[in-house]
Every structure is written in C-alpha cells, then in structure tokens.
Amino acid sequence: MKILIHGGWVIDPGRLDGRFDILVDDGKIVRLVSEDGGTSASPGGERMADRIVDASGLIVVPGLIDMHVHFREPGQEHKETLETGMAAAARGGFTAVCTMPNTRPAADSAETIGFILKKSRECGRVKVYPVGAITRGLGGEDLCDYASLKAAGAVAVSDDGMPVMNSLVMRHAMERAKAFDLLVISHSEDLHLAAGGVMNEGETSRSMGVGGIPDAAETIGVLRDIALAELTGARLHVAHVSTAGSVRAIRDAKCRGVQVTAETAPHYFTLTDRDVPTYGTNAKMNPPLRSHHDRDAVRRGLSDGTIDAVATDHAPHAASEKALGFSDAPNGIIGLETSLAVSLRLVHEGVLSMTQLIEKMTGSPARILGIDNRLAVGNPADITLIDPEAPHRIDAASFRSKSRNTPFHGWELNGRSVMTIAAGDIVFE
C-alpha cells in the first residue's frame, strides 16, 4: 500500500524540522519532499498514493522507541503477551521496543531470544528487540553465553529487576559484553541497603508505616556501575533513573568521558512518593517514586542532556495481583499507552522543547541501540503522527494492553499519537 503523508510538520531531531510530504511504499520511505522545494515530485506522489493522510496541524516524527518494556511472554501470558504488548506499543506511537529478559524462563539463552523474535514477527510489524540476561536465570552468578545471545538477536544484556550484586561478576559481565560489543543495561541498586523496603524512604513511608528504600540504594548502584564501566570500557546504559544522586553521578561520568547513557520513565518526572497514598499499588514500582527534590533533579537531567532517553518500564500485572496489600503487591506499572501524553507535559511546561522530547523518545534510543530509524528515503517507514495539543482523558478501559495497572487513569492531558506506521503498515489510527 502506498501512503502519502501530506502537510505535516516533520521533526527528525538534528536533521529535519519543517513541512514535508512523505511517500511510503512497500514498507519503505520512497519520497521526502519539502513544501517549498518539491513542486516536481509532490503532485506525482499524490497521484500514486492509495491513501492520502492529511497531516496538517500534526507533527510527523520517526517511530517512537521504548527501550524498556516487559511483555511477560514466555511464562506470564495472563499479564501481557507479545501480541497485546505490541498492540499497546502501536497505540502509544511506538514502532520499536526492547523487551527485558525477566520472562519465565528468563531470556538467558539463544532459544528464548529466538522464540521472542519469531513470535513477535508473527504478531505484527512493531519491532521487538530482545534484551538478554546478564546471568543465567538472572541469578547474579553465572554469566550467559553472550556470543550466542548476540547471534540469536539480543541487542543488549541486562539484569533488570534482579541486579547483579557481586561486583566481580558485574566486572566480568562488562568485559564480556565489551568483547561482543553488547550494550549493558543496568538496574543499578544495592539490594542489601534496599532490603525490606516497598517505597521511597521518607515522611510518607513513615506515616504509612511501611518499609522504606533510601535513595542511596540506587545512587550507590549507579556509582558502582559507572566505576565498572570506566574500568572495563563497556558501554553502560542506566535504566530507570529516579534519584538526584544518580543524575549527579551520570552527569559527572559523562563530563569525564565515560561511555554512559541513561533513561528515566514518565512516572519519575511526574509523580512523587507523596502520591503513593492516592494511587496505592498503582504507584508501587522499583525504583520507587521519590521526593520532589529527586523529581526536579530528574527533570533537570532531562533538560541538560544528562538523561538521554524516556522509556516506560511498561510492567503489566493482573488486577488480582495489584489488589494485594501495598507491601505484597508486585512492583511496576504499565506505560506504553500513556507515555507520550504524560511526557508532552514537559513540553507544555517548558522543561523540554518538542524537538528535545522527540529526541529522547526516538533519536537517542536509536543511537544507543545502533538502529537507523531516520526519516530518509530507503529507510523502513516507521513513522508516528502526533497531535501535540489534542485534549483527551486517559481511560484504562480502552487500553490494548492486557493489564490496567496505571496511576494515570482519568488524567486529563493534552497531546497524543494519532497514527502509527510500522514498516509501512498503519498499525494504529
């Protein structure tokens, strides 16, 4: 199918910022014509298209990339499957996601990585980039076979959710990852210091009478992983940054030339631990929601470039699981279908420019992962159309995800994705 995207404002950070028409054919971008440059090509494009999309008033960007999702397949398909996760991604404006390895079994073998890739290709056109485990069974002891993980299609290795506590094991992991040019995505946390905690340690945890996790538990983990990246020369990407101390540590490391990048999630720059009593277990995740001070530091980290990417840490759980008491319910919230709308608040509030936000939701993840998703002739047609102002109300009942665990249900927000094109197919409109 030939699709002409007509009259939209195209933002491909660092490359394009203006009105362009884009013609898509056979999965690829075949023509890109600027409004003032292309009288010769533009009318031809219109004649040739099967479908003309009127994009006036919309922003047209490279397909969004979420570097951090949990699709629960294999093993916990009652929470999410590759198919429902990919549908949620498409609805949120994402054309590519990285799946974390804490499935059951864990993605610690070529077989499981191969299964995830094969199944996702059968399910649709959203690209799934599987992340392999750092250690077998995420046990923190025996390194996986990185050569076979990479050969099977893993784009990175991670200990997400189950940090490698033994620094010697982590050193060896980084050395091996560097040898195979694999990115290391760290869940940086000192589990001993965090033990027994279920939310951020502070006034709210004390008033609720539940165990607290001090911010230092994360900051210590980040400092260790940066030191190991510096020692080994590995490429380190710090997942879900939530503390002011982590932001400082990453800023300092970047200044010293350490190969480190970082992501945060919309909940960390939107909510704080004071919101926990309101949202209950839909505000329970690890790392936990932090203080106002931390939230403001994360926002500064985004605006000054310390934090490269916005990822969701989309973590589906069944309603019955989240209905357990606060201390017993599992960690995590979903995010694919709210991320863009919640993140656009940063633009509306002047924290980021639109271009900066788009960079953090597509350009930076692509660069970190080594993916070429630029809007360029010959490239796969992964394209997201955004209405930057459209007022709407988040309704969890309308989600394509199998799960509903979000604190953002009922929020009135401005701006959303209105069409997602993955590999030339309209996968959401």
Does 313 contact Zn ion by CB under 5 A? yes
- Shortest Cβ 314–Zn ion spacing (Å): 8
Which range in 152-160, 191-199, 228-236, 348-356 contacts Zn ion by CB under 5 A? 152-160
Which range in 27-35, 146-154, 157-165, 346-354 contacts Zn ion by CB under 5 A? 157-165
Q: Which is nearer to Zn ion, 110 or 311 (CB)?
A: 311
Question: Concatenated DSSP letters for 207-236?
Answer: HHT--EE-HHHHHHHHHHHHHHHHHH---E
Quick check: 326 and 56 in contact, CB under 8 A? Answer: no
- Cα–Cα distance between 120 and 230 in angstroms, integer? 35
Which range in 41-49, 112-120, 154-162, 225-233 contacts Zn ion by CB under 5 A? 154-162
Catalytic residue among 21, 313, 382, 387: 313
Cis geometry, peptide bond prior to residue 330 (ω within 30 degrees of 0): no
Quick check: 248 and 123 in contact, CB under 8 A? Answer: no
Q: Which is nearer to Zn ion, 62 or 130 (CB)?
A: 130
- Residue 257 φ then ψ, to 5°: 90, 15
Q: Which is nearer to Zn ion, 103 or 259 (CB)?
A: 103
How many other CB atoms are there within 10 angstroms of residue 15's CB atom?
Answer: 12
Question: Concatenated DSSP letters for 263-313?
Answer: EE-GGGGT--GGGHHHHGGGG--SSPP--HHHHHHHHHHHHTTSS-EE---
**Residue 313 falls in the annotated catalytic set:** yes
Q: Which is nearer to Zn ion, 313 or 321 (CB)?
A: 313
Place of tokens 């309101």: 278
Q: Which is nearer to Zn ion, 236 or 386 (CB)?
A: 236
The pattern of x and - marking residues 314 through 353 that bind Zn ion according to CB under 5 A reads ----------------------------------------
Q: Which is nearer to Zn ion, 312 or 373 (CB)?
A: 312
Which strand ranges, in their side-by-side order, compose the sheet holding 309-310?
64-69, 94-99, 127-133, 156-158, 183-186, 236-238, 260-264, 309-310
Sites for Zn ion among residues 192-231 (CB under 5 A): none
- How wide is the angle at C-alpha 97 spanned by C-alphas 155 and 65, nearest 5°? 105
Place of tokens 């993916």: 371
Pick the closest to residue 265 from 13, 61, 68 (CA basis). Answer: 68
Pick the closest to residue 157 from 166, 167, 148, 146 (CA basis). Answer: 146
- Shortest Cβ 174–Zn ion spacing (Å): 20
Cis geometry, peptide bond prior to residue 13 (ω within 30 degrees of 0): no
Does 263 contact Zn ion by CB under 5 A? no
The pattern of x and - marking residues 99 through 118 that bind Zn ion according to CB under 5 A reads --------------------
- How wide is the angle at C-alpha 338 spanned by C-alphas 367 and 293, nearest 5°? 80
Q: How many residues of this chain bind Zn ion (CB under 5 A)?
A: 2
- Shortest Cβ 421–Zn ion spacing (Å): 27
- Shortest Cβ 70–Zn ion spacing (Å): 6
- Shortest Cβ 334–Zn ion spacing (Å): 12
Q: Which is nearer to Zn ion, 149 or 162 (CB)?
A: 162
Sites for Zn ion among residues 159-178 (CB under 5 A): 160
- Shortest Cβ 278–Zn ion spacing (Å): 23
- Shortest Cβ 62–Zn ion spacing (Å): 24
- Residues at the interface with Zn ion (CB under 5 A): 160, 313
Q: Which residues have a catalytic role annotated? A: 313
